Structure 1
Amino acid sequence: MLPPCKPPTATRSTFIETKPVTTIEVDRSRDISQPLEKLSPDETMKANSDQLRGTIAAGLEVELTAAVPGDDIKLMKFHGVYQQDDRDIRDERRRQKLEPAYRFMARVRLPGGVLSSSQWLKLDALGRAYANNTLRLTTRQTFQFHYVHKKNLRALMQGLHDVLLDTKAACGDDARGVMASINPQLSALHAEVYALAKAASDHAIPKTGAYREIWYGEERAASTGEPEEPLYGKTYMPRKFKIGFVIPPINDIDVYAQDLGFIAVTEGKELKGFNVAIGGGMGRTDNAPKTYPRLASVIGYIAKDKVIETCDAVMTVQRDYGDRVERSRARFKYTVDDKGLDFIKSEIESRLGFALEPAKPYNFTSNGDPIGWQRGEDGREHYTLFIQNGRVSNFPDLALFDGLRAIAQVHKGMFRVTPNQNLIIADIEPGDRPAIEVLLRQYRLDTLNNASGLRLNSMACVAFPTCGLAMAESERYLPSLVTKIDTILAEHGLAEEPITIRMTGCPNGCARPYIAEIALTGRAPGKYNLYLGGGFHGQRLNKMVLENVAEPAILDHLGKVIGDFAHNRKPGERFGDFAIRAGHVAEVKEGRFFND
């Protein structure tokens, strides 16, 4: 058992007295055109944090409030934890003069979405004990625990540690969870790419001892005189940084939405190297034209043994040149556009010590998951289960949570969380398949895959009631909206047509909406922006066609476009491609022109 944490005694002064940093240390190679005195408050906060320690340990012990104080709210993000509150009851608690119902979300670091059955069972137990009897599969192949009380956070973290999991860098201004393609039909190749993704994740997480001290109760190690964060320094990255590995022809990780993407290049079944794509990102702000989504640019090719040093080179370029004054423009995509792609590529090559080779040919055909049974090249079986919007819970008509626990209790292989919020029961010996099939039928989980082409290609962020940024419903609303759109599709004989649809409760883009063929982003309760024209395999941005509208206008507009699509599409033409060709929406050639 892990020893209990022994934080300092919490007093009022613990949270209001800090020693200010008068000068923020910045790497010598940093772009010095940004005056230090004008850096954003978050930069000072990070520099003052004692390498992410802050006063988090003391704040966890305070029983008078369910929240944590001051800057610790932001610092805890680096530890994979968000402070939230139940927005369904926020107004009622305000009327009763009570503080908001503060709870926490904890996000697991799970490179490539791969976990064992024993790890699943531990996550299941933690979800039942501390997270309101639910788990959430995310669009970055991991798990989120919601509704966690402050008093239970350490127990949750230590429970994860029991099965070699953690939440390090799952949030914050650092390298987030690293994604990797899920493709059972290429299992040997997948295994090699997954190993590289995991190595990249382990390499890129912060090295500070703050996590072990706060959550595991370890004593602070004596200083060696060496920097505690050799890559990140005292102010870490300007904003979050996302890395992903993809295996064509399925662009399941949406590689063009990553800050740094590695596109596998093979000869036969052998992995040779990767095309490198940089500068992708989905986030934007309404009514802020200087913010926009951007697709990553492919800048060249590297051999597979150059992955880690390429991660370092690209990350340090963003570390040193990213905007630390205007936080809304601190993502790598803006650095690439502001400095120019040629300049950024040159800086990367300078730090690598060699020039990138020209990009190799590759081809994508979709970004969805192979639903149902697949057999890998090694003869093992894999079953991909559609999980609507990633929510694992026991519903009134479906015991999904219990069913997956029953499967994990007998499953001898692995589980894989997909970038589309689905779950693969993976690596099943052929002789063990019948037992899995019995449980799928017993708990009616096999019925989940009997969905329309639209629903199977749908994704939503969490939004209400837990996300503090949400302006409209998403996870709780998209299923009913899809049902209504399905009715329109069925009327035109398109019930099985695969069309990507994504919804978020705000414009930040957590479900990667701006590359979907149909997308909706929340503006206010019941009001959304509607976008059309994204690429079926994530290769093109969409464009707004309706702003701040409610469901009747959304369905009316979609009805007209779907009707036209049914009657005038070309053979094999995708919905997003048709919407552009038929003039329903203008094509967006580049992220900088997204708001035009």
Structure 2
Amino acid sequence: MTNNLLNPVKISKVEVLKQKSNFLRGPINTELKDNNPFFSQDGIQILKFHGSYQQKDRDFDKAKEKGEDAQYSMMLRTRSPGGLIPWQLYLALDKLCDKYGNHTLRTTTRQGFQIHGILKQNLKTVIADITRNMGSTVGACGDINRNVMAPAVPFKDKPEYNYAREYAIKIADLLAPQAGAYYDIWLDGEVAVTATEAPEVTEARNRQGDGTAKTNINSIEPIYGTQYLPRKFKIAIAVPGDNSVDLYTNDLALVVITNANHELEGFNVYVGGGLGRAHHNDATIVRLAESIGFVPVAKIYDVIKAIVAVQRDYGDRHNRRHSRFKYILEEWGVEKFKEVLLEYFPTKLAAPRELPPFKYQDYLGWHEQGDGKYFVGIAIENGRVSDREGLQLKTALREICETFHHDFVLTPNHNLLVTEITADEKETIQAILDRCGVLAPDKIDTLVRYSMACPAFPTCGLAIAESERALPSVLARIRQLLVSLGLENETFVTRMTGCPNGCARPYMAELAFVGSAADEYQIWLGGNFDSTRLAKPYIQRLHINDLEKGLEPLFVYFRNQRLSGEGFGDFCDRKGIEDLTRYVENYVAGDHQNSEQDSGRKDIRHRVTLSKRSYDLLKNAVGQKGTSMKDIVEAALEQYLK
């Protein structure tokens, strides 16, 4: 762990850049005025704090062979606490993506929207328009607090949900950058007309004492200081029993606690979750957040400031792969973390309140809000809002927005809720959805319904394999395989990412594909449907062409050995990776027609004893090639005996 910033140590170039940026102004303020179609490497780093990433069209890389220049564009992401998208903002985004982007919107796994394909020369226009239409992009990226998540559902008769949304907004305001660079650069100093933050938030940010950042007294940035955080920081707020926000994957998670009269008492606090990692680097980890106690509502801002300050002062500012908050918890443990936290918040936290088990819900379809009105949850496959043959989703959402002026709420799983629908509007809205080909939830294949993919190619610079564009065909092949094995009614959570950074939260899935090379994926197994358990790595590389060959033995084993009512993820977790691997290594293709438990089986499996060295080499080859020992041995023998 890096030493406390109060004792200066070696820091990365990004840290030096942040410190010299004049609170996130330079060099963007000057590079916007040059004639280059791209930002410099320094500009790219600071641009993130304003909600944008510079990207290249990676499909266009082939053009390099013809001597053509790379095609640069910007991805822009909204900051939308709790996923709330006012109808005015949605219409603005819809028009902006057509005029300046690639004609699509992309929902994120943190309840925001992304526009891809914006040219540098148009970036200021787009950001200004978003900001003047009740939106913002500041804090959607960068080494600061990201979008604060909360359950999307607008249950008016369940106060816990209202508290979650309320505090998502307040905490987002508390941790928003204060130096004014965003307005100086994108709106020429004009402060857009937006909702004023609650006075309690302003007072809490500026209050010295409990939770105060030790090095930042009287700073323009009283929480962050001149260098902001070592890396991004993610917060979610959950309601007891509702894990629609994937609370365990966040740096900081709060669970709303109310009394018998449904009055807010405070929050259970969890810390140290995070999923970003790197292949073949055991120093990078995936981790679930852990409980540290209960905090009364009057002290929640001070505790949040204190937790963020610990990450700011003790997070690794030299090695960015080691700089997320989760590494502090992993290396210190919860008890040491709580001891250090006392230096910032000098009151021991109370024991956490008892909670019911967390369950995942997607809230698709029609539901009552509890006040006589309705909301409808609309599935957005892989988060892509577009018009294509058979599905005019973009047209449907625009028409609903223009006709009824109802706000949208984005979910943490790529979907969208239309809220505040009156009884006499239901029929018309459903007719729009039907006409545009938007399926009701019971008409969606459950493999698709409970899946997610990151964008990957062609926009993401980190992608090493396809994801969004590959997952539909992968799911279709999996469904076909399940049908052939007599598992036609089976479903599980499937997620795919183009790299190991985990933007679609693959490490919580029952079955996950994590890009490891072109058309090859690391396979993770054993997460659960409710997103409360980490999956484990199973195969290092499975080529997409070998999908059925790689998955068939697992599904056969599951079919034959599952317990009553047991899901695929629970089965894989119960058996364990070693047991699954052993079964697959001995699996004979075509055995799926018979149950392993049938007494009449006649097949004979011949065995050969290997030396430990040969066995270790063979086992290593299995992990590298993503195939079975049997296949490797047979191929080698056939080649040798020729």
Tell me the TM-score normalised to structure 1 length: 0.89
Instruction: Indicate the SS of the match to 1:180.
Output: coil
Distance 1:219 1:447, change over 3 A: closer
Report what 1:141 is aligned to: 111
Instruction: Indicate the SS of the match to 2:58.
Output: coil
Correspondent of 1:60 among 32, 43, 54: 32
Instruction: Indicate the SS of the match to 2:59.
Output: coil
Report what 2:178 is aligned to: 207
Instruction: Indicate the SS of the match to 1:262.
Output: strand
Alpha-carbon distance in structure 1 between the residues aligned to 2:488 and 2:342: 49
Which ranges in structure 1 are unaligned for 5 or more consecutive residues? 1-28, 588-594
Instruction: Indicate the SS of the match to 1:293.
Output: coil
Alpha-carbon distance in structure 1 between the residues aligned to 2:483 and 2:358: 25
Alpha-carbon distance in structure 2 between the residues aligned to 1:585 and 1:261: 33
Equivalent residues of 1:494, 1:566 under 8 A apart: yes
Residue correspondence of structure 1 range 377-526 to structure 2 within 5 A: 377-446=370-439, 450-526=443-519
Equivalent residues of 1:452, 1:496 under 8 A apart: no
Alpha-carbon distance in structure 1 between the residues aligned to 2:447 and 2:265: 36
Equivalent residues of 2:514, 2:523 under 8 A apart: yes
User: Is 2:246 the partner of 1:259?
Assistant: no
Instruction: Indicate the SS of the match to 1:534.
Output: coil
Instruction: Indicate the SS of the match to 2:444.
Output: coil
Matched residue type, 2:111 = Q
Equivalent residues of 1:543, 1:586 under 8 A apart: no
Equivalent residues of 2:38, 2:120 under 8 A apart: yes
Report what 1:42 is aligned to: 14
Instruction: Indicate the SS of the match to 2:41.
Output: coil
Matched residue type, 2:142 = G
Residue by residue, what CA displacement relative to the aligned partner does 1:172-205 show, whole Å, maximum 9, x if unpaired? 1100111111234565432221010000001101
User: Is 2:148 the partner of 1:178?
Assistant: yes
Residue correspondence of structure 1 range 178-197 to structure 2 within 5 A: 178-185=148-155, 187-197=158-168
Following superposition, the deviation at residue 580 of structure 1 comes to 2.1
Alpha-carbon distance in structure 2 between the residues aligned to 1:579 and 1:329: 30
User: Is 2:327 the partner of 1:357?
Assistant: no
Which ranges in structure 2 are unaligned for 5 or more consecutive residues? 192-216, 581-622, 624-642
Moved over 6 A (4+): none
Equivalent residues of 1:533, 1:585 under 8 A apart: no
Following superposition, the deviation at residue 492 of structure 1 comes to 4.4
Equivalent residues of 2:378, 2:416 under 8 A apart: yes
Alpha-carbon distance in structure 1 between the residues aligned to 2:257 and 2:549: 44
User: Is 2:220 the partner of 1:228?
Assistant: yes
Alpha-carbon distance in structure 2 between the residues aligned to 1:62 and 1:556: 54
Report what 2:630 is aligned to: none
Alpha-carbon distance in structure 2 between the residues aligned to 1:219 and 1:142: 24
Instruction: Indicate the SS of the match to 1:295.
Output: coil
Following superposition, the deviation at residue 435 of structure 1 comes to 1.6
Decide which moves more: 339-348 or 457-466. Answer: 339-348
Residue by residue, what CA displacement relative to the aligned partner does 1:381-426 show, whole Å, maximum 9, x if unpaired? 1111110010001112211111110011123432110000001112
Distance 1:162 1:180, change over 3 A: same
Alpha-carbon distance in structure 1 between the residues aligned to 2:566 and 2:258: 28
Residue by residue, what CA displacement relative to the aligned partner does 1:226-267 show, whole Å, maximum 9, x if unpaired? 522111111110110000001132211111110000022334
Alpha-carbon distance in structure 1 between the residues aligned to 2:470 and 2:496: 9
Residue by residue, what CA displacement relative to the aligned partner does 1:318-367 show, whole Å, maximum 9, x if unpaired? 00111112211000000112233212112224422322111112233433
Distance 1:316 1:30, change over 3 A: farther
Report what 2:69 is aligned to: 99
Residue by residue, what CA displacement relative to the aligned partner does 1:531-566 show, whole Å, maximum 9, x if unpaired? 101122121111111112212433323222223323
Residue by residue, what CA displacement relative to the aligned partner does 1:502-537 show, whole Å, maximum 9, x if unpaired? 111000011111111111111111011001011221
CA RMSD of aligned residues (A): 2.2
Instruction: Indicate the SS of the match to 1:347.
Output: helix
Equivalent residues of 1:84, 1:467 under 8 A apart: yes
Alpha-carbon distance in structure 1 between the residues aligned to 2:368 and 2:62: 52
Distance 1:395 1:219, change over 3 A: closer
Report what 2:91 is aligned to: 121
Report what 1:20 is aligned to: none
Instruction: Indicate the SS of the match to 1:76.
Output: helix
Alpha-carbon distance in structure 2 between the residues aligned to 1:449 and 1:144: 28
Alpha-carbon distance in structure 2 between the residues aligned to 1:84 and 1:133: 16
Distance 1:71 1:86, change over 3 A: same
Decide which moves more: 203-212 or 298-307. Answer: 298-307
Instruction: Indicate the SS of the match to 2:439.
Output: helix
User: Is 2:239 the partner of 1:239?
Assistant: no
Alpha-carbon distance in structure 2 between the residues aligned to 1:435 and 1:303: 45
Alpha-carbon distance in structure 2 between the residues aligned to 1:122 and 1:522: 34
Report what 1:327 is aligned to: 320
Alpha-carbon distance in structure 2 between the residues aligned to 1:138 and 1:469: 17
Following superposition, the deviation at residue 146 of structure 1 comes to 0.3
Residue by residue, what CA displacement relative to the aligned partner does 1:4-53 show, whole Å, maximum 9, x if unpaired? xxxxxxxxxxxxxxxxxxxxxxxxx97159753x2111111111111111
Equivalent residues of 2:160, 2:256 under 8 A apart: no
Report what 1:250 is aligned to: 242
Correspondent of 2:60 among 61, 80, 89: 89
Distance 1:391 1:585, change over 3 A: farther
**Which structure has the larger Rg?**
2
Aligned-residue identity in percent:
38
Instruction: Indicate the SS of the match to 2:166.
Output: helix
Report what 1:12 is aligned to: none
